[in-house]
Amino acid sequence: MTTFDANGITLERVREHVWEIPQEGDMRVPARVLASEALLEEIQDDKTLEQITNTTHLPGITNYAICMPDGHQGYGFPVGGVGALDAENGCISPGAVGYDINCGVRMMRTNLTYDDVQGHEEELVDSLFANIPSGLGGGGIVEGGVDTIDEILARGVDWALENGHAVEDDLRHCEDEGMREGAAPEKVSQKAKDRGKNQIGSLGSGNHFLEVQRVTDVFDSGVGEAYGLEEDQIVVLIHCGSRGLGHQTCNDYLRKIEQQHKGLLDRLPDRELAAAPAGSQLAEDYYGAMNAAINFAWVNRQLIMHRTRQVFERVFDRSWESMEMDLLYDVAHNIAKKETHTVSAEPRSADGASGVEPRIDGEERELYVHRKGATRAFPAGHPEVPDAYRDVGQPVIIPGSMGAGSYVLRGGENSMDLTFGSTAHGAGRLMSRTQAKNEFWGGDVQQDLEDQQAIYVKAQSGATIAEEAPGVYKDVDEVVRVSDELGIGDKVARTFPVCNIKG
């Protein structure tokens, strides 16, 4: 058997790109890492493998804990982790969703070509930067009171539609039509709402950005046509999340769960995995609050997209409708969701007594599918794929670094069997932000991108550019190659940056 030894953790090769950390000790299931050897080498020295192993201790974990090709260490649970926890007998874990609830990306098409935009890059990037709030702190497209926040939390993009920030078609091209069921605004703290109320429609900082891109390759012309993508076309990619509101919500519930479910916490190998047992009041409350924060993030991306249409109208002196600036799709990267999946038989529990009814092989179970730094990737035919894409599969949008470009994939036919319908979410970081600032200087990075690749970047802070320098990320081509070869997310198109604004 081929093995990979990573600093004391041995992975067994199941088949190409599939590695397993066998079940032992208090692990309830094995862990799986979906990666090439080159990608494994990049996570052998940090805590990624330890964290995905720790995840297998969570009650109700089903089949495997899974680390995606772009996985790297995170808070308790790896970024790039998928954990499906039984919604009846298992638990829900805020650390396995992430601090930035519904951080995600959306792509908007246009009918412009690169020729139309060349020569306007600086005007475009300046106008986007001036009109779309970014950076840390407050200031959003909409200034809301408490009533506004509560409506946004409850209704998501439906609120944006009613208030002139969306068209019907936008809702049809977003998961859950931009409105997550089960949102409970009353379970979001006043403090979280206060942080969110002046951040409605704002990019934030860190790896969040808005990028104008050109399509350089269409690998699958049939799916490309269904997605409305062709070579040389201009598209816009928006990457942001739920800002201070989601961060505060995660923090609030981590603290509550640590206090009220200490018994479970004491049995876990890392307190950052703190989880509320399924059926408990806190599990219900967190799920309701998280769903509300998900709606906030969708509104955030919607307002930014709609404002981008207005910026293009001014720069190109045409209506956005005539430029066919339609939403391709919006994907969430940090969420938990109740989904029904076909599962394997209950594996033996470490102490010989799981205390729950054993599962039957092939049984359908309702699971809290936690995807943290991972994307839903449902295949063709799945009922939750929007009508427009049902025959080809769900669009998956994978941003690379600002010097590398991004990919559009479609949910692959193996995703339901291998990954609870999931794939990677990005290139994945190679080094910490602190390390990045020691290696790069923002002004140099910005100048090199412009001189060498004709990519125009404008940011609130030079430090942010250094933290997000292309050299800070893994090779997005390698991540996508693994996803494609596993058949969990298939390559459809590739894009390259034209201009980029960030915090």
Task: Return the residues of window 123-152 that contact DNA according to CB under 7 A.
Answer: 136-137
Q: Which is nearer to DNA, 28 or 247 (CB)?
A: 247
C-alpha to C-alpha distance for 288 and 266, rounded to whole angstroms: 25
Active site residue 247: no
Q: Stretches 169-177, 202-210, 447-455, 488-496: which one binds DNA (CB under 7 A)? A: 202-210
For residue 139, what are the β-bridge partners? none
Q: Stretches 54-62, 165-173, 193-201, 306-314: which one binds DNA (CB under 7 A)? A: 193-201
- Enter the DSSP assignment of 142: B
402: amino acid identity, one letter: M
Task: Return the residues of window 460-479 that contact DNA according to CB under 7 A.
Answer: 468
C-alpha to C-alpha distance for 258 and 468, rounded to whole angstroms: 33
Cα 485 to Cα 42, 57, 63: the distances in Å are: 19, 30, 21
Q: Least distance (Å) from DNA to the CB of residue 241? A: 6
- Residue 94 in tokens: 């805020």
Name the E strands within 194-254: 209-218, 233-240
Produce one character per residue of 172-189: b if its CB has 16 or more CB atoms within 10 Å, e if not: ebbbbbbbbeebbbebbb
Q: Which is nearer to DNA, 253 or 316 (CB)?
A: 253
C-alpha to C-alpha distance for 451 and 448, rounded to whole angstroms: 5
Q: Would you count residue 244 as binding DNA (CB under 7 A)? A: yes
Number of Cβ within a 10 Å radius of residue 391: 12
Q: Which is nearer to DNA, 280 or 461 (CB)?
A: 461
Phi/psi for 85 (5° steps) reads -115, 130
Q: Is there a binding annotation on residue 393? A: no
Q: Would you count residue 206 as binding DNA (CB under 7 A)? A: yes
Q: Would you count residue 210 as binding DNA (CB under 7 A)? A: no
C-alpha to C-alpha distance for 416 and 382, rounded to whole angstroms: 10
For residue 277, the SS3 value is strand
Task: Return the residues of window 90-119 that contact DNA according to CB under 7 A.
Answer: 99-100, 103
Q: Give the contact letters, 334-373, x = binds to DNA (CB under 7 A), - = no.
A: ----------------------------------------
Do 51 and 79 touch, CB atoms closer than 8 A? Answer: no
Q: Least distance (Å) from DNA to the CB of residue 243? A: 4
Q: Which is nearer to DNA, 21 or 299 (CB)?
A: 299
Which residue from 57, 106, 247, 494 is in contact with DNA, where contact means CB under 7 A?
A: 247
Task: Return the residues of window 38-97 that contact DNA according to CB under 7 A.
Answer: 75
Q: Residues within the annotated binding site for Mn(2+)?
A: 100, 208, 239, 333
Binding interface with DNA (CB under 7 A): 75, 99-100, 103, 136-137, 191, 194-195, 199, 204-208, 240-241, 243-244, 247-248, 433, 468, 503
Q: Residues within the annotated binding site for GMP?
A: 207-211, 333-334, 399-402, 406, 425-428, 502
What residues act catalytically? 425
